[in-house]
Structure 1
Amino acid sequence: MVGVRSAWAVGVLCMGYLWFLFGIVWVPSNKLYQQGLVLLLWLPVLIAVLVLHKRLLQAWRSNKVFLGLLLMLLGWAALSTVWTAAEEPLKELKRVLYVGLFLLLFQILAELRSAFVWKGLGLAFVALALSCPVSFYLFYVQGTHPLSARLDGMGQAGHPILGAYVMALAVMWGLQ
């Protein structure tokens, strides 16, 4: 029964990964996208950290320098919320937590299904490429914006943080 439960847990993490990659462009509303992230990505990653802590410690030991620098960067980002001029510093801290969980997702999937990470990036690359002509059509043809107007991305790809996540992942896959 343990094998079935762990396969189910890995399946949920994989679904969260794909939801993150594909949903950013193809899920029509931010609310639905965010709810999917919570259900399929953020909560499962937190649970996986508790369950897989021994494996993650092994990964930590084998990559101390890189992961240490990454933790220092996340720590600095979290600490800087103390003096930020943002209206809601806790919201900024929550974003740092989300970035950390997102990075943990990659570490967990790399440990459990490394080939899936690269396949997912490849599929996301194709999905992003397919969204480009659709974005052009929706913005310039259906939306009747002038060609001099700046194109707005589909879904959440127009969001500066979320769009940057996925574009960076697509570039990583494209450079492999």
Structure 2
Amino acid sequence: MYPPIEPYDHGHLDTGDGHLVYWEVCGNPEGKPALVVHGGPGGGCTPNQRRGFDPERYRIILFDQRNCGRSLPHASDPAVDLSTNTTQHLVADMERLREHLGVDRWLLYGGSWGSTLMLAYAQAHPARVSEMVICGVTMTRRSEIDWLYRGVGRFFPEPWQRFREGVPEAERDGDLLAAYARLMS
């Protein structure tokens, strides 16, 4: 990891449909553009994620996906409509950010949900991606979701139990993700 670094530019990108996507840039303004795509759900970019690239060589770009981190509106607001928070919307936000920052092509870096989003972006805009560095790969297949939200509980029983207790008792033995989705919407 490189030493901590602060952004030299940041802002909120208006997506045109009621969302303001937070973004920040640090490192070398003339360096190779590298976009950090955070995992989720509900996460956001962190100061530590700025440290994965040599700030002398890279123009490090981070953003908080819709309804996450410092983007507005935040999913924690019960009045927020999540119907416009889809993979297609997030891919469009990434492309809008690329255009806003004047980037021709960029390296994509991320993992977990970020890996899925990066792959979707690269499929939609292959000419805009110079490289991809994917860690914690997931394709968000049903088998992976089942493992993450049910199977892994046998290794972490206490956190799993707390996770189950977050939904109404009648739904704890069913589809927990569907139950959480109902709670969110």
TM-score normalized by the length of structure 2: 0.24
Which has the larger share of strand? 2
- TM-score for the superposition, normalised by structure 1: 0.25
Q: Which structure is richer in relative contact order (CA contacts within 8 A, separation 6 or more)?
A: 1
